[in-house]
């Protein structure tokens, strides 16, 4: 109780008691005497004596010591000290004597401070709840990934047996453990949140898959609940007498603290080299969706925080006082931080990200730095730096990401500024082919991964980079160029490791020898901005460009563990199946059939894309179906060894294709991989869910498109 007596006395007298010396005010004079006179058990003079230089300089008055005060105050003298009532004290009288709060005044002060301390503590506790929530989410992701690995090992060790009534020949039976996984895929992990819009924007916004949307919804609800509960409003509050003022203050503090607590999560989920991606196996697009929604919630909380304080100042002190606040360093920095966060939100809508990505990127980085910088100075008024625990992690995350990016660049080439790429543009197919020397690459390329590419010769835009999926890798041993796969006949069944052809193929798929050089091949469709500038460099003739290669990024889907694979791709999405072909047609693969359905505008794109893969067209396991959407004389552009390709002059019926493939697969494992236009991806997602509903428990859906 004596501790609170000390605190209450300090608080009230620091505002109520005024002592005038030499025409100046020294608010510590009477406060110090009152403090010492009412607190006899322990000498509290040390903190007070630290103020002596201030009083000497500004008020020409020396604070008394503890012993001087105690010696001058007897018990009778203390009993005669005037007790001040709350009503009198709150009139802010000018006093030149020592006073003590009466019991009622003390009780009000005690309740006021106890409530303020409790609210302050609960604000911080609820801020940490953000981390508890995401720890649970990440734990679920890690557990799911481990379970998936265990299940695949278990599945691969099971024996085959025939199931009557199902097409597809020899099948693996499905046990009870499979049904929950199929149910989860059907109702939770694969479907769109509602309707069919997932890759396609809906009312100008992107909507993530259902499982991501449910996670985000839980996070939003958690923030709403924690910003709406656990407020203690008291009668006779000395800080904020009106309950409306208490409401504004408590809500403003709560939203401000939780908003700041969300900052490290924003930076963590938005970084390219997020360690959580490695831990959970979730793609960059998943964490990018989390990043956007954490940012939206934090921005809304920052707006409520700023508006709450603005209304509190205006309702209590008026416009003149509000303008004075704008001269305070912490205040205007906080307002600018809120404005910067709102601007970040406005410039991050899907339409801007997609149509003006370069502009979005520059603005995003600049405003992010401005937000972090101004937030640092906004909380600078807390001298112990207690709120910097949410600022410095953001800086550390950003630095870590940049260091790892540089590490990836150096891992690709020890002399990254000298990396050259041969870039050619085919006007007939409207396709750019980029070949990058990867001889010194320390990280082996994997199917389905992608690389960020900087074009250094484009001096004004050398800082910009875009992700491109690796189409395939060309090997050259002792000057002899080798295709990604060699000619192999009669491949209707997987080759055994002992077969000659299988050995030849495995040799090609093995790690490169010391004498081998490799070339990474990328296909790029030129649009506006970055890709159009690459096109302009090589429009008239092949050209060598200096590039920075950062990667690889992404995870390789283990398609070789599936019995059947269907690729639904469009345009340059053909790079995805091409990157997987060497793996899924190897002797160690379980794959029995691969079907590629490719929608493309020009016939010439077929020749350009498959010039290194023509040998595969004779593999009986591979079926290539090309849908050309632009009228063209195909006989003039197709070579003789391309005649086995099924070519159609209309857009593919995604639903029908998936339905027929699922019926042929029966209960075998079927991987449906989509990479192409948003409409095609959403149709493939919807059809995959329907096939699961029809009892095809082996269907799994993968979308390989990059999420901005």
Per-residue pLDDT tens digits for 345-376: 999 988 888 888 888 999 999 999 999 999 99
User: Burial level of 416, CB count in 10 A (0-12/13-18/19+)?
Assistant: buried
User: Where is average pLDDT lowest: 73-87, 123-137, 271-285, 527-541?
Assistant: 73-87
Orientation angle between helical segments 284-317 and 263-270, nearest 10 degrees? 150
Backbone angles phi, psi at 596, to 5 degrees: -115, 120
Closest CA to 453 of 439, 431, 470, 477: 470
Give the pLDDT of residue 355: 82
Q: How confident is the model at residue 486 (pLDDT cuts 50, 70, 90)?
A: very low
Give the pLDDT of residue 510: 40
Q: Are the CB atoms for 524 and 468 separated by under 8 Å?
A: yes
Q: What is the DSSP pairing of strand 670-675 with strand 699-703?
A: parallel
**pLDDT tens for residues 122-135?**
999 999 999 999 99
Residue 296 has pLDDT above 90, yes or no: yes
Terminal Cα-to-Cα distance of the chain (whole angstroms): 58
Give the pLDDT of residue 487: 32
User: Where is average pLDDT lowest: 443-447, 477-481, 553-557?
Assistant: 477-481
Mean pLDDT for 424-453 is: 91
Residue 233 has pLDDT above 90, yes or no: yes
Q: What's the Cα-to-Cα distance from 404 to each of 304, 411, 447, 462, 587, rounded to whole Å?
A: 36, 10, 21, 19, 35
Give the pLDDT of residue 87: 78
Q: Are the CB atoms for 532 and 123 separated by under 8 Å?
A: no
Better-predicted residue by pLDDT, 629 or 44 = 629
pLDDT, mean over the chain: 81
Mean pLDDT for 480-488 is: 43
C-beta pairs of 451-454 under 8 Å, 24+ apart in sequence: 451/520, 451/522, 451/549, 451/550, 451/551, 451/552, 451/553, 452/272, 452/549, 452/550, 452/551, 452/553, 453/421, 453/522, 453/547, 453/548, 453/549, 453/550, 454/547, 454/548, 454/550
- State the Cα–Cα distance between residues 141 and 226, nearest whole angstrom: 25
Give the pLDDT of residue 57: 66
Q: How confident is the model at residue 158 (pLDDT cuts 50, 70, 90)?
A: low
| H/E element, 130 | helix 103-156
Please, which residues have CB within 8 angstroms of residue 655's CB and are 6 or more apart in sequence?
A: 683, 686, 687, 690
Residue 503 has pLDDT above 50, yes or no: no
Q: Which two tokens stand for residue 390?
A: 């949410």
Residue 151 has pLDDT above 80, yes or no: no
Give the pLDDT of residue 369: 97
Give the pLDDT of residue 419: 92
Q: How confident is the model at residue 267 (pLDDT cuts 50, 70, 90)?
A: very high
Query: Bridge partners of 519?
Result: 437, 474
User: Where is average pLDDT lowest: 280-294, 326-340, 420-434?
Assistant: 420-434
Better-predicted residue by pLDDT, 223 or 499 = 223
CB atoms within 10 A of CB 256: 24
**pLDDT tens for residues 189-225?**
999 998 888 888 888 788 999 999 999 999 999 999 9
Q: How confident is the model at residue 663 (pLDDT cuts 50, 70, 90)?
A: very high
Give the pLDDT of residue 389: 94
Mean pLDDT for 383-395 is: 91
- State the Cα–Cα distance between residues 286 and 145, nearest whole angstrom: 15
Mean pLDDT for 471-476 is: 82
User: Burial level of 631, CB count in 10 A (0-12/13-18/19+)?
Assistant: exposed
Q: Which two tokens stand for residue 54?
A: 């201030």
Please, which residues have CB within 8 angstroms of residue 298's CB and are 6 or more apart in sequence?
A: 258, 259, 262, 263, 266, 341
Give the pLDDT of residue 80: 80
Mean pLDDT for 334-341 is: 97
Q: Which segments of the chain belong to CATH 3.40.50.80?
A: 559-703
Residue linked to tokens 């695949």: 152
Better-predicted residue by pLDDT, 427 or 267 = 267
User: Where is average pLDDT lowest: 58-62, 209-213, 686-690?
Assistant: 58-62
Give the pLDDT of residue 530: 87
Mean pLDDT for 602-614 is: 80
Residue 508 has pLDDT above 90, yes or no: no
Mean pLDDT for 628-650 is: 69
Q: Which of 144-158, 393-407, 415-429, 597-611 has the highest mean pLDDT?
A: 393-407
Query: Bridge partners of 626?
Result: 598, 647
Rounded to two decimals, the pTM is 0.83
Q: Are the CB atoms for 516 and 476 separated by under 8 Å?
A: yes
Give the pLDDT of residue 639: 58
What percentage of the chain carries pLDDT values higher than 70? 78
Give the pLDDT of residue 131: 98
Q: Are the CB atoms for 523 and 436 separated by under 8 Å?
A: no
DSSP code at position 96: -
Q: Which CATH class name applies to 559-703?
A: alpha beta
Mean pLDDT for 290-298 is: 97
Report the half-sphere exposure of 323 (CA within 13 A, side-chain side): 3
Give the pLDDT of residue 313: 93
Give the pLDDT of residue 543: 77
Q: How confident is the model at residue 5 (pLDDT cuts 50, 70, 90)?
A: very low
CB atoms within 10 A of CB 614: 18
- State the Cα–Cα distance between residues 507 and 486, nearest whole angstrom: 10
Q: How confident is the model at residue 509 (pLDDT cuts 50, 70, 90)?
A: very low
Q: What's the Cα-to-Cα distance from 645 to each of 430, 535, 619, 639, rounded to whole Å?
A: 21, 29, 12, 11
User: Where is average pLDDT lowest: 176-180, 203-207, 336-340, 584-588?
Assistant: 176-180
Give the pLDDT of residue 120: 92
Q: Which of 243-252, 489-498, 629-638 has the highest mean pLDDT?
A: 243-252
Closest CA to 681 of 594, 567, 580, 575: 567
Mean pLDDT for 498-515 is: 40
Kindly provide the b/e burial profile for residues 273-298, where b requires at least 16 CB atoms within 10 angstroms of the residue's own CB.
Answer: bbebbeebbbbbbbbbbbbbbbbbbb
Q: What's the Cα-to-Cα distance from 379 to each of 200, 257, 693, rounded to whole Å?
A: 41, 10, 54
Residue linked to tokens 């003390």: 106
Residue 680 has pLDDT above 70, yes or no: yes
C-beta pairs of 313-319 under 8 Å, 24+ apart in sequence: 315/244, 315/245, 315/248, 316/245
Give the pLDDT of residue 76: 77
Give the pLDDT of residue 30: 52
Q: Which of 12-26, 164-178, 244-258 has the highest mean pLDDT?
A: 244-258
Give the pLDDT of residue 553: 94
Q: Assign residue 479 a region: left if phi > 0, alpha if psi is -120 to 50, beta otherwise?
A: left
Better-predicted residue by pLDDT, 415 or 166 = 415
Give the pLDDT of residue 96: 77
Better-predicted residue by pLDDT, 521 or 180 = 521
Residue 315 has pLDDT above 60, yes or no: yes
| H/E element, 431 | strand 431-437
- State the Cα–Cα distance between residues 390 and 263, nearest whole angstrom: 7
- State the Cα–Cα distance between residues 515 and 535, nearest whole angstrom: 33
- State the Cα–Cα distance between residues 216 and 222, nearest whole angstrom: 10
User: Burial level of 604, CB count in 10 A (0-12/13-18/19+)?
Assistant: buried
């Amino acid at each position: 109780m004596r501790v609170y007596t000390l605190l209450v006395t300090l608080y009230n007298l620091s505002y109520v008691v005024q002592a005038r010396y030499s025409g100046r005010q020294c608010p510590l004079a009477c406060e110090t005497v009152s403090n010492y006179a009412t607190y006899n058990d322990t000498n509290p003079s040390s903190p007070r004596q630290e103020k002596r230089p201030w009083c000497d300089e500004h008020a020409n008055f020396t604070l008394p010591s503890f012993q001087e005060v105690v010696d001058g105050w007897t018990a009778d003298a203390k009993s005669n000290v005037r007790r001040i009532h709350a009503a009198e004290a709150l009139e802010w009288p000018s006093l030149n004597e020592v006073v003590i709060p009466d019991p009622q005044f003390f009780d009000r002060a005690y309740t006021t401070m106890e409530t303020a301390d409790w609210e302050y503590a609960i604000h911080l506790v609820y801020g940490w709840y953000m981390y508890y929530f995401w720890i649970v989410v990440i734990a679920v992701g890690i557990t799911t990934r481990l379970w998936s690995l265990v299940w695949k090992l278990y599945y691969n060790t099971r024996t085959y047996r025939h199931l009557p009534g199902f097409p597809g020949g020899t099948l693996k039976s499905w046990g009870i453990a499979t049904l929950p996984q199929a149910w989860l895929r059907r109702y939770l992990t694969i479907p769109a949140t509602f309707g069919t819009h997932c890759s396609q924007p809906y009312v100008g916004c992107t909507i993530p898959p259902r499982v991501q949307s449910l996670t985000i919804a839980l996070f939003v609800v958690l923030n709403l609940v924690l910003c709406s509960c656990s407020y203690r409003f008291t009668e006779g509050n000395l800080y904020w007498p009106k309950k409306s003022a208490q409401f504004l203050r408590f809500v403003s503090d709560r939203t401000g603290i939780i908003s700041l607590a969300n900052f490290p999560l924003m930076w963590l989920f938005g970084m390219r080299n997020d360690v959580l991606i490695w831990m959970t196996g979730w793609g960059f697009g998943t964490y990018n969706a989390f990043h956007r929604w954490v940012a939206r919630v934090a921005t809304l909380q920052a707006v409520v925080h700023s508006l709450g304080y603005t209304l509190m100042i205006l309702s209590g002190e008026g416009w003149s006082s509000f303008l004075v606040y704008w001269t305070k360093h912490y205040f205007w920095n906080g307002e600018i931080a809120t404005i910067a966060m709102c601007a970040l939100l406005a410039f991050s809508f899907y339409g801007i990200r997609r149509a003006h990505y370069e502009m979005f990127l520059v603005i995003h980085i600049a405003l992010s730095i401005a937000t972090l910088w101004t937030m640092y100075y906004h909380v600078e008024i807390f001298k112990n730096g207690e709120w910097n625990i949410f600022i410095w992690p953001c800086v550390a995350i950003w630095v870590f990401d940049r260091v790892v990016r540089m590490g990836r660049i150096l891992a690709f080439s020890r002399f990254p500024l000298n990396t050259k790429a041969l870039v050619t543009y085919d006007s007939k197919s409207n396709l750019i082919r980029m070949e990058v020397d990867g001889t010194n690459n320390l990280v082996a390329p994997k199917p389905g991964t992608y690389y960020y590419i900087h074009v250094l010769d484009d001096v004004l835009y050398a800082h910009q980079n875009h992700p491109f999926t690796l189409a395939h890798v060309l090997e050259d041993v002792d000057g002899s160029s080798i295709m990604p796969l060699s000619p192999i006949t009669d491949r209707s069944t997987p080759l055994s490791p002992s077969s000659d052809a299988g050995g030849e193929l495995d040799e090609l798929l093995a790690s490169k020898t010391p004498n081998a050089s490799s070339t990474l091949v990328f296909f790029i469709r030129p649009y506006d901005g970055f890709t159009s500038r690459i096109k302009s460099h090589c429009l008239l003739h092949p050209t060598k460009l200096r590039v920075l290669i950062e990667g690889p990024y992404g995870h390789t889907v283990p398609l070789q563990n599936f019995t059947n694979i269907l690729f639904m791709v469009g345009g340059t999405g053909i790079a995805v199946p091409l990157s997987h072909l060497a793996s899924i047609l190897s002797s160690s693969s379980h794959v029995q059939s691969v079907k590629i359905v490719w929608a493309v505008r020009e016939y010439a794109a077929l020749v350009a894309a498959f010039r290194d893969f023509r040998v595969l067209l004779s593999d009986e396991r591979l079926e290539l179906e090309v849908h050309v959407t632009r009228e063209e004389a195909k006989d003039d552009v197709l070579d003789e060894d391309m005649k086995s390709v099924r070519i159609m002059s209309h857009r593919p019926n995604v639903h029908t294709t998936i339905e027929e493939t699922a019926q042929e697969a029966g209960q075998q494992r079927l991987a449906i991989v989509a990479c192409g236009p948003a409409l095609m991806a959403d149709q493939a997602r919807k059809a995959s869910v329907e096939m699961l509903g029809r009892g095809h428990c082996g269907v799994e859906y993968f979308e390989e498109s990059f999420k901005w």
